[in-house]
Chains A and B, each alone.
Chain A
Amino acid sequence: MSTQKETPDKPVVEGVDYDALEDLLGETVIDRESHLNAEGFVVRPDEVQDALFTLRDEAGFDHLSCLTAQEYEDRYESIYHLKKYDDPTEEVSVVVPTSKEEPVSQTAEPVYRTADWHEREAYDLIGIDYDGHPDLRRILLPETWQGHPLGKDYDQDKPQLVSFDEHANPLQEDHADAESDTMFVNIGPHHPATHGVLHLETTLDGETVADVDPDVGYLHRCEEQMAQQGTYRHQIMPYPDRWDYSSAGLLNEWAYARAAEDLADLDVPEYAQVIRTMGAELCRIAGHMLAVGTFALDVYGDFTAIFMYAMRDREKVQTILEDLTGQRMMFNYFRLGGVAWDLPEPRDEFFEKTRDFLDDLPEALEEYHDLMTGNEIFQSRCLDTGILEPEAAKSLGATGPVARGSGIDYDLRRDDPYGYYDELDWDVVTEDGCDNYSRVLVRLQEVEQSAKIIQQCIDLLEDWPEEDRDIQSNVPRTLKPDPDTEIYRAVEGAKGELGIYIRSDGTDKPARFKIRSPCFHNLSTLPEMANGEFLADMIASLGSLDIILGEVDR
């Protein structure tokens, strides 16, 4: 807390007055950059914490949304994208250049705990060394990996040796005497409760979790690298479907579409925005259904009625999405400047089918409440377990239903409007319980809100005049944004804030494409929730985070 004078309750800066911010930061700013989303202050690598503490405590930037690291010809650069949980349209970036010879930069971990995982990823993929970081290990790649794959001098033909060593018990030293021994257990990468290839290095003290360290990266598919090799116009859009593949594909596509459209200054016709909004909310329902069903699986035991009911309802959504996009999971439906095609003909049939689904939904949701939230054993399992206090949630960068379950009123659809959301009537759901139960409640209620949005979209689409049905604006065949334009844009995915950073270099491919995955940062809250709790509660908490490993590992 070096520069903190006292605890100021209200931020000094109202709105985004960058000159005032520059004055506030004073000497630490050595230069200023303009990104499309926000101004960036360049600070020296040994003054990162000073600048961030000032921005957090005196200007109210309490959300480290993303950290983008990249290598230029002459330097390395870390960009801290800061936002406010109260108003995410207020953004500022802190740009930290470091030299090629000695890529050492001060860590931001004491300011924002979420920087822990951000910086480990940056170290892993780019090779920047964060000085003072408590635990700077590789996070996505195996610990024995040589080189940093997104660095410029990386030799991808070099053979890599990955050893198969046993994991050590991190608490062995603390429990030297035989009476109080701890046991190290590998939960995953193949385990019924990890929802994919996640590895939890867990240390148990009896039935209690003494320490848990999520080990991710088993599903790392170099998505950022692949996006950097594709052209803006068509070659990148199929990839987002593969991040969060719980049928939430359209939401991911929107993240890329939003960033790229703002970067290349493309318009989207209103009609296409309504279709996008409808499709995205259908995807959100499908994603939340899967989340609720698998959470029930974790708490209930074997394949239960709830899981099957959730899959059944998700199936209905997928059928509608299939009619709309031609695909059930990997939609590839959005295009820069609109969507691929109009609603399926005959339109009436599509509307009727969707309306039928929406009409049946309240009854289906009632069933979930009967089976889950109303069940006393379920309540005794979920209430007051997996506590995530709002302060910790903010510091750890939690977003989406996880943050809203902790009472943080933060939803980009409302706070940083895009698409057609600000024209529609719907509410952001929050619950104050901070526990596993709240997170389930939030998801179930969000399904209701999504249904409300879809209902309004359908009414709009049905009455839309035939001559105005533009599904795409005019987009140049080859997109070549101006060199050195940088943008960071986020949308509200099914799991939370899904952000994309793109830097263009004048070609038709991005020079740097960075994905801010909500699952990745939501997962980093697991130790906060699970340490000291029972093993069964840790599994429930993990389920309540609703992680999709495809998005965690990218």
Chain B
Amino acid sequence: MIAQQKTLLPDRVSGLLGLGQYGVAGDLVAAFLAAFLVGNLMLAMTGVAGPWAKRKITAAFTDRIAVDRIGPFGLFIIVADAVRLLSKELIIPKNADRPAFDLAPIVVASSALLGFAVIPMGTGIHLADPEVGLAYVFAVAGIASIGLAMGGYASANKYSLLGGLRAIAQNIAYEIPLVITGASVVIFTGTLQMSEIVAQQADPLVTVAGITIPSWFAFVNPFAFVLFVVANLAEVGRNPFDTPEAPTEIVAGYQTEYSSVYFVLFYLGEFLHIFLGGAIIATVFLGGPAGPGPAALGIVWFTIKIWAVFLLTQWFRSAIPRVRIDQLIQIGWKGMLVLSFANLVLTAIIVGVIV
């Protein structure tokens, strides 16, 4: 299994198509093709999640049926929605700050896509495996904040401005606990390399009644897992931390003035971020693509794990109230930060004593 993951997707593409003989150009084409594959996989998932799964899940929580008119289980609503959204008029406010207004949705959507480059998804789908993989994924996910800030101020709308400010305050407050908690896992693994983090979780932790529980970091350090999931919810701005959008307070926050394609990009970016958050959680805490059955099923298990995280966000959306902005900041700076540092120090001590 580990051996299989050592072969990265670009190399496999290159091998399959015989691109190796073209030197650097061949490598570039192979890398591009592989990235194209992964990008489309994630976009397809978002496409299913946004117009269809989100509605179905929320409907299940609220005793409704949701879309069921077009296609099996209403699945073709995805096509209908895509046509509807893309054919809308692109309205740009008169006083909008043009390059920033146009760039913001692209920054938000692309920053999330960049993160998937280092995620090992199993079944050999792994684009790149740098030694700083975990740091890289946090870094590119953080770029989204810039996009939100750009969208917030460039829209020339007071609600957008408030939403942008809230988004930045929130991301700064929760980025630190997120990274610190991630670092507590690094203390165990001793490396930032994603494939290595996944590989170390394959060892059995305990065997209870014949069932071997792997040493996923969610089992090894459940406290860090909970902290990470909460910080991640805030990071992607989902309930109870959806204050930057807060429809009943500030209409739609930073994306109030966006329509048509730009809105789609924002929307896409948000869902990509949920999935990226899920991918990080799955990789760092849930053993990545590990699961019962042959290793070839890795991508299936991986998909199930990130969808579980998605389901969790939708569950909270239906059932949990939104915290107020001051409470949000307080929870971040006074609660999460302290707890994550405590977790880091404790982990360091325990690892230092035992290992």
Contacts and interface: CB of A to CB of B under 8 A. Distances in A.
A504 B325 CA distance: 55
A302 B319 CA distance: 10
A185 B159 contact: yes
A281 interface: no
Given A536-B324, A537-B324, 11 more contacts: A191-B251, A192-B247, A299-B321, A300-B322, A302-B239, A303-B62, A304-B62, A304-B318, A381-B321, A534-B326, A536-B246
A80 to B, nearest CB: 38
Interface residues of A, number: 32
20 contacts: A183-B158, A193-B249, A207-B326, A296-B321, A300-B320, A301-B239, A301-B246, A301-B322, A302-B239, A303-B62, A304-B318, A309-B63, A377-B323, A381-B321, A381-B322, A534-B324, A535-B162, A535-B250, A536-B243, A539-B249
Contacts of B322: 299-301, 377, 381, 536
Contact of A301 (B63, B64, B247): B247
B321 A309 contact: no
Contacts of B243: 536
A536 B325 contact: yes
A511 interface: no
B91 to A, nearest CB: 16
B61 interface: yes
Contacts of A304: 62, 317-319
Contacts of B326: 207, 534
Nearest to B318: A305
B201 interface: no
A312 interface: yes
Nearest to B323: A377
Interface string B324-354: 1111000000000000000000000000000
B288 interface: no
A368 B319 CA distance: 11
Interface string A180-223: 00010100000111000000000010010000000000000000
B240 interface: yes
A419 B242 CA distance: 48
A371 interface: yes
Interface string B143-158: 0000000000000001
B327 A305 contact: no
Report the 10 A-B pairs with minimum CB-CB distance, sorted nearest first: A308-B62, A193-B248, A536-B324, A300-B321, A301-B322, A377-B321, A305-B62, A378-B321, A305-B318, A298-B248
Interface string B63-106: 11000000000000000000000000000000000000000000
Nearest to B248: A193
A369 to B, nearest CB: 14
A7 interface: no
Contacts of B246: 301, 536
Nearest to B328: A536
A539 B321 CA distance: 14
B232 interface: no
Contacts of B283: none
Interface string A19-52: 0000000000000000000000000000000000
Interface in A297-342: 297-305, 307-309, 312
A536 B64 CA distance: 28
Contact of A207 (B159, B242, B251, B325): B325
Contact of B325 (A183, A299, A303, A534): A534
Contacts of B325: 207, 534, 536
A537 B318 CA distance: 20
B58 interface: yes
Interface in A269-310: 296-305, 307-309
Query: Which of A183, A305, A378 has the largest number of chain B CB atoms within 10 A?
Result: A305
A380 B62 contact: no
Query: Which of B162, B318, B327 has the largest number of chain A CB atoms within 10 A?
Result: B318
Contacts of B240: 377
B62 A309 contact: yes
A375 B320 contact: yes
A535 B246 CA distance: 11
Contacts of B248: 192-193, 297-298, 301, 539
Nearest to A191: B251
Nearest to B240: A377
Contacts of B158: 183, 185
B249 A380 contact: no
Contacts of A192: 247-248, 251
A297 B318 CA distance: 10
Nearest to A543: B248
Mostly helix, strand, loop or mixed at chain A's interface? helix
A390 B240 CA distance: 32
Nearest to A308: B62
Contacts of B63: 305, 308-309, 312
A537 B248 CA distance: 11
A24 B58 CA distance: 65
A381 B323 contact: yes
Interface in B197-252: 239-240, 242-243, 246-251
Query: Which of A207, A297, A301 has the largest number of chain B CB atoms within 10 A?
Result: A301
B321 A301 contact: yes
Interface in A400-443: none
Contacts of A308: 62-64
Interface in A327-381: 371, 375, 377-378, 380-381
A208 to B, nearest CB: 9
Interface in B292-311: none
A488 B58 CA distance: 49
Nearest to B320: A377
A313 to B, nearest CB: 11
Contact of B319 (A193, A371, A380, A536): A371
B62 A301 contact: no
B317 A302 contact: yes
Nearest to A382: B321
A378 B162 CA distance: 23
A405 B327 CA distance: 25
Interface string A501-538: 00000000000000000000000000000000011110
A371 to B, nearest CB: 7
A378 B321 CA distance: 6
A204 B240 CA distance: 24
A289 to B, nearest CB: 15
A305 B61 CA distance: 6
A524 B162 CA distance: 26
B64 A381 contact: no
Nearest to A193: B248
Contacts of B250: 535
A296 B320 CA distance: 10
A172 to B, nearest CB: 15
A192 B320 CA distance: 19
Contacts of A298: 248
A380 B318 contact: no
A193 B320 CA distance: 18
A517 to B, nearest CB: 24
A147 to B, nearest CB: 35
Given A207-B325, A304-B62, A305-B61, A535 B320 contact: no
A308 B65 CA distance: 12
A204 B166 CA distance: 14
A542 B58 CA distance: 26
A509 B239 CA distance: 55
A302 B162 CA distance: 18
Contacts of A299: 321-322
Contacts of A312: 63
Contacts of B321: 296, 299-301, 375, 377-378, 381
A174 to B, nearest CB: 19
B327 A380 contact: yes
A308 B64 CA distance: 8
A308 B62 CA distance: 6
